[in-house]
Amino acid sequence: MTQSKISGADYLLLLFYVKGSTGIIGEPIEGRTRITKMMFIFNKEIFGKLKLNKFSSEEDLPKFEAYHYGPFSYDVHEQLDLFTNIGFIEEKTKVIRKNDELDYDSDLKSIDENESLFEEQLPTVSEYRLTPLGIKYVENEIIPNLENKEQVILFLEQFKKQINTTDLRSILSYVYNKYPEYASKSKIREKVK
């Protein structure tokens, strides 16, 4: 089998694929903010440490810029939308119990005209997970192109476990303090630091 280049979108799918704290392949990830910061940390700290694919380079990774809630990537958001639309990823909305877990990068939902403006709206977050079709794609098209597959997957599982079990405020604080240039436009910088 001939190895081919792995794109930034493929790395995103691979991070959705690996096990995390539950030990289940395809463990979901909560919220676009968490996913965006996960890919940012992957770009800055993980990609260079791992020999993932000899044909891939940093140019293949999503681009980030300073934005309202720290590093933001249109690439990552477009990839999430694309993978949801083609059935590789499913999105489910769930109620969250703590405001610390608000998903800053998600679109604000408009109030339905039939709902009372005085009813208390519970905050929600979208949970994203690979579908069976997405899992099949990763197993057949991405993993065969990895070098040192077992070591890479173990490392990525530890990374995903850390991201999924760390509260969002702590992830934001880490990113803002380590990469302050990406927090320069943040609306929540003082709350997070």
* Least confident segment among 80-84, 136-140, 143-147: 143-147
What percentage of the chain has pLDDT greater than the value 70? Answer: 81
Distance of CA 131 to the CA centre of its chain: 16
Q: Dump pLDDT digits (tens) for 80-125.
A: 999 999 999 999 998 876 555 555 555 433 333 344 434 456 678 8
Q: Dump pLDDT digits (tens) for 15-70.
A: 999 998 888 999 999 999 999 999 999 999 988 887 665 666 778 889 999 998 89
pTM for this entry = 0.84
pLDDT of residue 32: 93
How many domains, the chain?
A: 1
Inside any domain, residue 2? no
pLDDT of residue 108: 36
Instruction: With CA atoms as reference, report the closest residue to 66 among 185, 190, 188.
Output: 185
Inside any domain, residue 1? no
Pick the more confident residue, 71 or 116: 71
Contact 130, 26 (CB under 8 A): yes
Distance of CA 125 to the CA centre of its chain: 13
Query: Residue 185 above 50 pLDDT?
Result: yes
The letter for the amino acid at 38 is: M
Inside any domain, residue 3? no
Return d(Cα 119, Cα 72) in angstroms, integer.
Answer: 32
Return d(Cα 111, Cα 90) in angstroms, integer.
Answer: 23
pLDDT of residue 112: 38
Token couple for 42: 């992957």
Token couple for 161: 């476990």
Query: How deeply is 181 buried, as exposed, middle or buried, from its count of CB atoms within 10 A (0-12, 13-18, 19+)?
Result: exposed
Mean pLDDT for all residues in the chain: 84
Query: Residue 172 above 90 pLDDT?
Result: yes
Handedness of CA 29, 33, 36, 40 (dihedral sign): negative
Distance of CA 104 to the CA centre of its chain: 13
Handedness of CA 9, 22, 146, 4 (dihedral sign): negative
115: containing domain: 8-192
pLDDT of residue 99: 52
Return d(Cα 61, Cα 95) in angstroms, integer.
Answer: 32
The letter for the amino acid at 40 is: F
Contact 90, 128 (CB under 8 A): yes
